[in-house]
Amino acid sequence: MHVNKKLIALPLLIAIVLSIAGFAYARWTDKIYINGTVVMCGFSLGFDYQETPSAVEKYWNVSQWVPGEADGKDVGSVNARYDVLYTDPHTGKPGYKKMIVEINNAYPCYAAFVTFKINNTGQLAADITGYTVTDHTGVLTFTENTGTGWWEGRDADGDLVLTVRVVNRAFPLQLDACQSEKMEIDIHVEQLAEECHTYYFDVAILYEQYDP
Amino acid sequence: MPSLGHVKDNPQEEKRRVITKMNKKIMATFAILIIALSIAGVAYAHWSGQLDITGTVKMGELIFGFTTCGSCGDGKMVDGRIVTPEPKDIGSITCELLEPETSVHLPTPKTVYKKLNITITKGYPEYVAWCNFTLDNGGSIPLDVVMYCVPADPVDTLTWRWEGYTVVGFIDTNANGVRDAEEPAVINIWFEPIFFGQIDPCQSMNSRIYIHIKEPAEMCHTYKFEISITAYQWNWEYIPP
């Protein structure tokens, strides 16, 4: 029986090739892994969930603001409440994102002082950097009077109608997680406010992470 | 999952080195890009937010006026005393309210009148007439009656000036603006009471106006007078600096 040498050589060749390849694939290897998880903290500030804002009227008597209205009258009224409830998803702490102040039957010299509380409901310290005052209707243009600290709202004629300020120790104010701070917003109706008008103001209290 | 790392040299090392070199350049470019973006990202993406306070200020209104006039009467001045009724029914007095204004703020709208018009007919020397009226607060904030005024310039033929709480009409012959001794009073007007002070919204105060025609008044003349009463918002004295 004639056996072709080539046929004998072929399996051998295959075996050699496979062994080489096998050596290459079967080389022992191993891997280790590092798995990382970064859970970001919550960052939220809000008006206090439990303590409602308190609003008082005051009038200027000789040299200071005195509670009430002149001569003990009850003419104007002020009401403040929180709105837009939220819950920080990380801490589960609730708060409000908005405060609404309503003044009725106002008159020149009428002044309302609203005390409110801001909580850091998140997990990261925040810097309250300041605030701005605007009028979404565009009737009043507010600019900050750096001398008095009041934001002055003037109408299209340039008449001073409304002044607003947020009173605090000083801005920027750092508020750690779980800390709260009481502040006050003062609204003063000026001499050139017109009868039967409705004026609007919008205050934005600005904050950012403490280490920007 | 693609991975990068060092492998032991093999026969195709040279080719791989070239490829690896190119890859390193590409990766370096990406790395620089990522670092640059991350720096920019820190600047833009640092967390911030805001809390909102929205405010509404609804203004009230100040409306001062009259709501009633009437109960007019007349008589004659005799020796400084008003004698009633008029000995002869000659003169007469009427009043009317003009120029209405209605508050839009009060739950029950209240209309007041800005003008009280008094007319005396067939007046004669020493004729005295009066009318009752009310001063009203038709607005939504208290008011303070602070001033009664007469025009500085003559009204037709008479010049009007205050002498105490009496408005005196006279002919200012020398046009010096004051009543001199030779310029007798033609008409005297006064209020009882002359009210100064606060009136709360929806409230009113009663008063009466007297008109006394004096001896120098001339026949067939028509005399006119005008008195304005001014009220401020009640807290006008409490103005902060």
For residue B66, which of B175, B206, B165 has the smallest C-alpha distance?
B206
- For B10, name the nearest residue in chain A, comparing CA atoms only: A24
Q: What are the sequence ranges of the domains in chain B?
A: 12-47, 64-233
B67: tokens are 């709501």
The nearest CA of chain B is from the CA of A1 a distance in Å of 43
| Residue A28, pLDDT score | 75
Interface residues of B toward A, Cβ cutoff 8 Å, are 46-62, 104-105, 139-142, 198, 200-201, 233-241
| Residue A39, pLDDT score | 82
- For A189, name the nearest residue in chain B, comparing CA atoms only: B57
| Residue B37, pLDDT score | 54
Please give the Cα distance from B166 to B170 (Å, whole number): 13
| Whether residue B186 has pLDDT greater than 90 | yes
Mean pLDDT of all residues belonging to chain B: 85
DSSP 8-state code for residue B158 = B
B80: tokens are 């400084």
CB contacts of B11 in chain A (<8 Å) are none
User: What's the rounded mean pLDDT across residues B1-24?
Assistant: 58
| Whether residue B9 has pLDDT greater than 90 | no
CB contacts of A189 in chain B (<8 Å) are 57, 59
Strand order through the sheet with B197-199: B197-199, B143-149, B228-233
Residues B152-180 pLDDT 10s: 888 888 999 999 999 999 999 998 989 99
Q: A151-170 burial, b for 16+ CB within 10 Å, e for fewer?
A: bbbbbeeeebbbbbbbebee
Q: Which is it for strands B48-59 and A94-106: parallel, antiparallel or unpaired?
A: parallel
Residues A48-67 pLDDT 10s: 999 999 999 999 888 889 99
| Residue A2, pLDDT score | 55
How many A/B residue pairs have CB atoms within 8 Å?
Answer: 158
Q: Which candidate in A64, A85, A98, A107 is best for mutational testing of the B interface (most B CBs within 10 A)? A: A107
Q: Is B51 within 8 Å of A188 when comparing Cβ atoms?
A: no
Q: For residue A110, count other CB atoms closer than 10 A to its CB.
A: 28
Residues B30-64 pLDDT 10s: 566 556 655 554 445 688 999 999 999 999 999 99
A106 within 8 A of B141, measured Cβ to Cβ: no
| Residue B14, pLDDT score | 63
Question: What residues in chain A have per-residue pLDDT under 50?
Answer: none
| Whether residue B7 has pLDDT greater than 70 | no
pLDDT band at B13 (very low <50, low <70, confident <90, very high): low
pLDDT band at B15 (very low <50, low <70, confident <90, very high): low
Residues B17-35 pLDDT 10s: 666 666 666 666 656 655 6
